Amino acid sequence: MNIRTFELERLQSLYENTVPLNLTESGFHPYTLNELLSSEQIEKLLNTVIGYGQTNGSIPLRKAVANMYSGCNEDNVMVTNGSGEANFVACHTLLDRGDEVVMMVPNYMQMWGVIEEMGCTPKRFHLREENGWKPDLGELESLMTSRTKMIAVCNPNNPTGYVLAPDEMRSIVDIARKYDSWIFVDEVYRGADLDGIEKESFIGMYDKVMVNGGLSKAYALPGLRVGWLVGPANTIADTWAYHDYTSITVGILSDRIAEIVLQPQMRRKVLDRNVRMLNENLQLTRNWASQYSDMISFQPPMAGGMVFMRYSFPINSTALSDWLRLENGVFIVPGDVYGMDHHFRIGIGAEKKELQKGYNIITSALRERFGV
């Protein structure tokens, strides 16, 4: 096999649907159709002909996506089966064997495996925990060479919840322009800002930017499997060729529901619901972690659906995750999947009662095993 196992996704796939209490989800508690749509909208969906849709996404859906980005229209948008497919298609469109990619870490590491599989060379530039997860832009520039085809960024970041400041975004653009490199940005958490103020996309800052997005995270609709790429029209047209070899098209019902959700009023309603959930659960998480102030620390996220915690209990992070899952029925993400032992990730987009239940169980388990 020429591609490495994607550890984070494989770990979650193995256990998230069988463990009694899953705290690994990186999005929000999903909607039901009855919660999301009116009876009139549901009735209209019931009369949908279950055929193939336009393979790059229906024009109304692509227009709805384009409206979220400065200076874009439907020709700047490719609709994909989730942002995972968007990442795969983008890499195969923008990269060639032998290219280098400088990638922000920690990060959702799917692209790392794709980059390696393509015969490209990935390099790491870091968000620095000791500096509040700010990016080490000096390190980024030091890694750039004439072979650097892409800078890969996750903003808002998974797993830290850090959001790049405008001057940091401009600095990344300046570095990319200097080396004529693409900037590819995972923006799947855009809109899930804890202060309720949606931050700007990289789109419009530079002519060689492509971003992904989707309904799985900030919109609490992972089961629709709707993602997208946004970028220059001629490059987006090139992504269609790869999309024809992968999933061909999203499901027709997913396309129709996504179009409804991304209308401005509905979109705002969905995002506001999820931001309220984030803020309530972040306060719950602060209260829980405060009892371990000498053993657990974390920088509160600015956006996204998770917290990334450092701990000092005498146990490896994978062993900690396995023990909590097998002996206590609670599943958390070990920092090892990010290459960062003595950290763990907890999803705070869960229902509040489930999150509180999970913290209660973890507290009892830690007290029994470590006496804390």
Residues 2-17 have a mean pLDDT of 81
Q: Which two tokens stand for residue 297?
A: 């620390």
The first and second tokens of residue 243, run together, are: 């999309």
Report the pLDDT value the prediction gives residue 366, as an integer from 0 to 100. 95
Per-residue b or e along 298-311, where b marks 16 or more CB atoms closer than 10 Å to that residue's CB: bbebbbbbbbbbeb
Taking the C-alpha atoms of residue 227 and residue 225, their distance in angstroms, rounded to an integer, is: 7
- The confidence score (pLDDT) of residue 286 equals 97
Neighbour-count burial of 252, counting CB atoms closer than 10 A to its CB (0-12 exposed, 13-18 middle, 19+ buried): middle
If pLDDT is split at 50, 70 and 90, which confidence band does 176 have?
A: very high
10 Å CB burial of residue 270 (0-12, 13-18, 19+) is buried
DSSP-derived pairing of the beta strands 227-230 and 209-214 = antiparallel
| Locus of tokens 């649907």 | 17
For 187-213, the three-class secondary structure string (H helix, E strand, C coil) is CCCCCCECCCCCCCCCCCCCCCEEEEE
Average pLDDT in the 249-253 region? Answer: 97
Q: Could you report the per-residue pLDDT of 281-313, keeping only the tens digit for each?
A: 999 999 999 999 999 999 999 999 999 999 999
| Distance of alpha carbon 359 from alpha carbon 350, whole angstroms | 12
Domain boundaries in the chain?
7-32+267-366, 51-263
Could you report the per-residue pLDDT of 67-77, keeping only the tens digit for each?
A: 999 999 999 99
How far apart CA 89 and CA 343 sit, in angstroms, is 31
Q: How many CA atoms lie within 13 A of 353 on its CB side?
A: 0
Contact residues for 225 (Cβ-Cβ < 8 A; gap 6+): 81, 82, 216, 250, 251, 254
Q: Compute the mean pLDDT over every residue in the chain, rounded to the nearest whole number.
A: 96
**Binning pLDDT at 50, 70 and 90, where does residue 15 land?**
confident
From its phi and psi, is residue 163 left (phi > 0), alpha (psi between -120 and 50) or beta?
A: beta
Q: Stretch 207-236: mean pLDDT, rounded? A: 97
Domain 51-263 has CATH 3.40.640.10: yes
1 pLDDT exceeds 70?
A: no
What is the reported pTM?
0.95
- The answer to whether domain 7-32+267-366 has CATH 3.30.530.20 is no
